[in-house]
Structure 1
Amino acid sequence: MSGSDRHLLVVDDDDRIRDLLKEFLARSGFRVTAASDAAAASRLIDTLDFDLMVLDVMMPGEDGISFAGRLRERGDSAGATPILMLTARGESGDRIAGLTAGVDDYLAKPFEPQELLLRIEAILRRAGPRSSGPTVLGLGACSFDIERGELTRDGAPIRLTEAEVELMRRLAQSANVAVDRLELARDTADITGRAVDVQVTRLRRKIEDDPKNPRYLQTVRGVGYRLAPD
């Protein structure tokens, strides 16, 4: 399978392991966001949409098993996020505790990266394809056709640059969910995010009735941007 549009959250307090996992999974075609503990992961889950979480058991503060159980108690889509749990301990009791908490699979450290990748792919296959959702989004007087990359106002076409089309598509694919600003900048020439900010400003002039008080292309403080269609 291709992971190109699959977003993974890696949660591990070990900086070296976290960075290695992020690099390996990114090279394997996934979009990857990382967190060092359960508290940071909770904040990310509240604002971003993930297809799967790679979660370490032993972390400072709340441990992975407790966090997985708390996540499963949520009644929203985030609570159904598949979880692959990692641990340095191989005792069967830990595995049972993790599975009881609702994790989908369990992998003991040390592990082969290829085995991790195969387990992730297997979990995502079992989870099935994500809902494709609508292909045309309503934005007040405007409409955006995701497949065609076309923006119209009252039926009349509005010219978009190629960069604006790609930004709109990326935001539309995660409609109503905040997308990290630096994640949006990853495929641009300016990884600082300034180019994204400029594109957002231009798009607001084309979409919003009041660009200074945007209704549809919203800023999410500390995260990035969210497209909120009708």
Structure 2
Amino acid sequence: MISDITYNLLVVDDDERIRNLLRQYLIKQGFIVSTASGSEEARNKIKLMRFDLIVLDIMMPGDDGLILTREIRDNSQTPIILLTAKSGTESKIEGLELGADDYLTKPFNPKELLLRILSVLKRSTIEENIENEIYFGDFILNIEKRELTLSGERMYLTDREMNLLIALAKSPGQPLNREKLAGVDEPGRSVDVGINRLRRKIEKDPRMPIWLQTVRGKGYILRPDR
């Protein structure tokens, strides 16, 4: 077993040999695996069962994998890994734009697919566990709406300030160093400047912050109530 959790996968490919190979390999790795030979069969199985991840071939007769990806994304956030025989990048880019989480070019080693499945599942599990609303004092941060309220009144934050606050809120109680926060900051601008401006808006005394603190040698940390 690769995990204490048993994940339910759907493999969609019109090539019976590939379907059977992946099914047997992934079952040995501890997954529950269903298969479908095309989009229509996949639709029927998706209606009947909940899948934790879908491995989906792009090139199939009838509705291809890109059409099915769009349909799935219209109704759910189930992770999708696309399989493509195309060496070009257009179909890969289109698939990612439609909401696929990753892709793999045929031919591939089943172990590489396994590693990608584990990576996508880990990422999606972390995202599911992130609270959408973060509370600190009389503040409520709604991550999805990108909205900060104080006692019910919406506060104005610049995009830069909101990006920094959300990045910290997604790792509550864990310090993030300047390098990690620089990834959400504007190029050429100091993370420290952004943090100081944010403190002036959310702290009673910015010189002695309660919520947005500095952890010496590690970076900055948001300490929410819950």
Q: Distance in 2 between matches of 1:84 and 1:22?
A: 15
Q: Structure 1: how far apart are the matches of 2:97 and 2:22?
A: 25
Identity over aligned residues, as a percent?
47
Q: What is the Cα-based RMSD across aligned positions, in Å?
A: 1.8
Partner Cα separation in structure 1 for residue 107 and residue 128 of structure 2: 35
2:185 paired residue number: none
1:128 match: 125
Contact kept in structure 2, 1:3 and 1:28, CA below 8 Å = no
Structure-1 separation of matches of 2:86 and 2:5:
32
Asked if the contact 1:85/1:107 (under 8 Å) is kept, the reply is yes
**Aligned-partner SS, 1:45:** helix
> In 1, Cα distance between the equivalents of 2:4 and 2:62?
31
Inter-partner Cα distance in structure 2 for 1:88 and 1:125: 26
Kept in 2: contact 1:8–1:50 (CA 8 A): yes
Alignment pair present for 1:84 and 2:85: no
> What are the ranges of 5 or more consecutive residues in structure 1 without an aligned counterpart?
133-230
Match of 2:51 in 1: 50
Q: Which residue identity lines up with residue 122 of structure 2 in the other structure?
A: R
1:24 aligned partner, one-letter code? Y
Q: Which runs of 4+ in 1 moved over 6 A?
A: 129-132
Unaligned runs of 5+ in 2: 130-226
Q: Determine the structure 1 residue equivalent to 2:38.
A: 37
Deviation at 1:41, TM superposition (A): 0.5
Q: TM-score, normalised by structure 2?
A: 0.54
Q: State how far apart, in whole Å, the 2-side matches of 1:92 and 1:70 are.
A: 22
CA gap of 1:51–1:26, structure 2 versus 1, over 3 A, is same
| Deviation of the 1:34 alpha carbon | 0.3
1:26: which partner in 2?
27
Question: Given the two structures, how large is their TM-score scaled by the length of structure 1?
Answer: 0.53
Residue 104 of structure 2 aligns to a residue in which SS? strand
Q: In structure 2, the residue corresponding to 1:2 is in which secondary structure?
A: coil
Matches within 5 A, 1:103-182: 103-128=100-125
Alignment: residue pair count: 128
Matching of residue 69 in structure 1 with residue 41 in structure 2: no
Task: Kindly indicate whether the alpha-carbon contact (under 8 Å) linking 1:8 and 1:53 is maintained by their aligned counterparts in 2.
Answer: yes
